[in-house]
Chains A and B, each alone.
Chain A
Amino acid sequence: MYRIARLKSTGKLIEMQSGGKVEIRPKNDAISDKEYEVYLTASSALEDARLDTLRKNAINAGYDEKDIEVKWVTEAEWAAIRAIIDQPTAEQIAEQEKEVLIQAKMREMAEAELIKEGKGKLTAAAK
């Protein structure tokens, strides 16, 4: 299981954290019904606290508490969310395109320098 926090208003993912569900041990004869009930209550409280970690993180990050939704999601649900966030942003695409241009420009300048120094003639001749 996964825990997510997102904004109710926009659906924007604030944070995901994996795990957090308690693997409940089956009751055995060594413990009483009352002890097992205490164990189940404690396990449930621990899961609630772990889910609440994301709510507290979101509040600390400055989000409006009323606009924060925290919940458990399955692996399949998280995979669907992840597919969306793994899409590059417009800024990232622009940055990558800029990087390609910079690399090409640097290579062009370096080759021109080599030709000027007479070290690049073979390459030029080979072309």
Chain B
Amino acid sequence: MAELKITELDELTTPAAADLLEIVDDVAGTPTSKKVTLENIYKHLAIGSDADGDIYYRASGVLARHPKGTANHKLFMHASNDAPEWAKGMGIISSTRDLTAAAGDVSYSGLGFKPSLVLGFGAVGATIVGCIGVDDGTVRKGMDTRTTAGQWAIQNYLLAFLTSVGVYQAAVVKSFDSDGVTLTWTKVGSPAGTATFTLICFR
């Protein structure tokens, strides 16, 4: 058989798992030429300290290993949008709202991630004033207690604290931020008291 350079061989463009490659075993000890199937190459891929549960992804043009996450965590795209990230993806912020405060934007921080959906509920202590709602930044639906009839009513706010007829403070999501959320509070009339509320945030 005539000697050929590798560059002169026919090209295989659709390699199969059982196809063979030449490999040098035990490079550091007694190097020996052997054959290996393509299947065994990719089955025994190792990048660094590989462990069960790790995943592989492309990083800066090369294959990289992403270590396994905490049990029951979910896989998200990192805020940099170029790498995977394991995370719980849920968090809670509790806060208060002085119902006498002026309307405006208020930021809430401490989540450690940028949410995409918020569920909120709250009440004014020692009163029947309470509400629950959900907001994804575009659609907001909730319900609040209407003091006049002692009934619940559907409204289009994440939070709405109606202290008497036509008198309330209500909030919707203005923006989802890297560490929390900013709400825009609306004030109608002169509500009094302090509302305590909780935001359950989903990444």
Interface residues of chain A, those whose CB is within 8 Å of chain B, are: 2-3, 13-20, 46, 49-50, 53, 56-57, 60-62, 82, 85-89, 91-92, 95-96, 99, 102-103
Contact = CB atoms under 8 A, between A and B. Distances in A.
Nearest to A81: B96
18 contacts: A3-B110, A13-B96, A15-B106, A17-B94, A17-B95, A17-B108, A17-B110, A18-B94, A19-B91, A19-B93, A46-B179, A53-B108, A60-B104, A82-B125, A85-B96, A87-B126, A89-B192, A96-B128
Contact of B96 (A15, A20, A95): A15
Nearest to A30: B49
B98 A15 contact: yes
Interface of B: 91-98, 101-102, 104-111, 124-128, 147-148, 150, 163-164, 179-180, 192-194, 196
Contacts of B108: 17, 53
A56 B107 contact: yes
A71 B96 CA distance: 15
A49 B108 CA distance: 11
B97 A20 contact: no
Contacts of A13: 96, 98, 194
A50 B107 CA distance: 10
A49 B109 contact: yes
A26 to B, nearest CB: 16
A57 B125 contact: no
Contacts of A99: 147-148, 150
Nearest to A51: B109
B111 to A, nearest CB: 8
A85 B148 CA distance: 23
A85 B125 contact: yes
Contact of B94 (A16, A57, A60): A16
Contact of A16 (B95, B107, B150): B95
Given A89-B193, A99-B148, 16 more contacts: A13-B98, A15-B95, A15-B98, A16-B94, A17-B94, A18-B94, A19-B91, A49-B109, A56-B107, A60-B104, A61-B102, A86-B125, A86-B196, A92-B163, A96-B128, A99-B150
Given A92-B126, A96-B127, A82 B196 contact: yes
A106 B74 CA distance: 55
Given A17-B93, A99-B148, A88 B110 contact: no
Given A15-B95, A88-B127, A92-B126, A20 B163 contact: no
Contacts of A14: 98, 101
